[in-house]
Amino acid sequence: MALILHKYRLDADGVVTTFVTTESLVYYLERDKFVPGNIIFSDYNALKTTDGNDTYNIAGKATQSGYVEGVGIVARFNYILSFLQVSTNRVLITDYHNHCVRSLDRITNETLTYVGNCTNSGNKDGTDALITHPVKLIVDIKNPIRLLLAERGRIIKSVKVANGNVSYFGSIVDYSVLNMIQEKDRGDLFVTFEHGVGLLDYHTRAFSVIAGSAINGFKDGSFNQMRFYYPFSIKFLNSHTLLVSDTYNNRLRVLDLITNTSSSICTGEWGHADGDFSTCTLYHPYGMRILDETLYIGTYQHIISIKGE
């Protein structure tokens, strides 16, 4: 097997190693805009940054949940599934069980509520919106003055960057969203749900299942026969190939949108064994990020790296 990570080639004998050890589950990670060269990541209820050797706590505490607006480790979150660095100094954090999006100032490390009424769930639009279980927040590629917010309750909302005003964008019929990514040309949204991958058409708002079904399990092959078990993160490898972290199958799944077929990386056994694509093991892969020639995978208590050529 060979994958193309943007312009880089990642071959089957690529090196799979542990990058850093964490306290809990790593749901999301990306390049740190505030500390050049670092990776910023969510460690369950905390936001952290690392250079691969040393790890620093930015806000919250991984093993303690709750709701507190405060500075640094005084702040409390309840299940950070994703975040969005809207500038060098500002991070928006989806606080899942607190039903809100929080804003973090990287200079002061102070948190404030951005969208929603923290600890109060609901479905209300406007600048005093109520939201339920936010899972992913992205900048709308086709309309950058707004953000798109996915809620676990099958709804995607539009959020104006300037004032946080919330309005309805679309629905994912019959399935609860876990994650989403936007295609850069048409703007269509690829989403993961409990047992599959779907597509929300940006223009018509029509939703369709691409691969998987309402039944969990594991099976590769044609999309209409595939089985997932909690596919979480989703990334483009190129314009026609998706990479999905299949959490409870402990694998990465490669989806070819031309042939409508899939293949898998790692054995499916849960653990942290380094190796190549055929021998590596993962313990609940969640977050993924491709940085230069390296694929980083957030798992339980580890960030794993796979280096390309």
For residue 308, pLDDT beyond 70: no
SS3 call for 72: helix
Span 281-301, mean pLDDT? 91
Q: Which residues of 132-155 are buried (b: 16+ CB within 10 A; e: fewer)?
A: bbbbbbeebeeeeebbbbbbbbbb
Q: Is the pTM of this model over 0.85?
A: yes
pLDDT at residue number 266: 86
Question: Helices H, strands E: what count in the chain?
Answer: 0, 26
User: Which tokens hold the place of 231?
Assistant: 């596919």
Sign of the CA dihedral 44, 48, 49, 53? negative
> For 199-243, what is each residue's pLDDT tens digit?
999 999 999 999 998 789 999 999 999 999 999 999 998 889 999
Q: Judge residue 31's burial from the number of C-beta atoms within 10 Å of its C-beta, 0-12 exposed, 13-18 middle, 19 or more buried.
A: middle
For residue 27, pLDDT beyond 50: yes
DSSP letters of 80-140? EEEEEE-SSSEEEEEETTTTEEEEEETTTTEEEEEESBTTB---B-BTT-B---EEEEEE-
Residue 147 bridge partners (DSSP): 139, 159
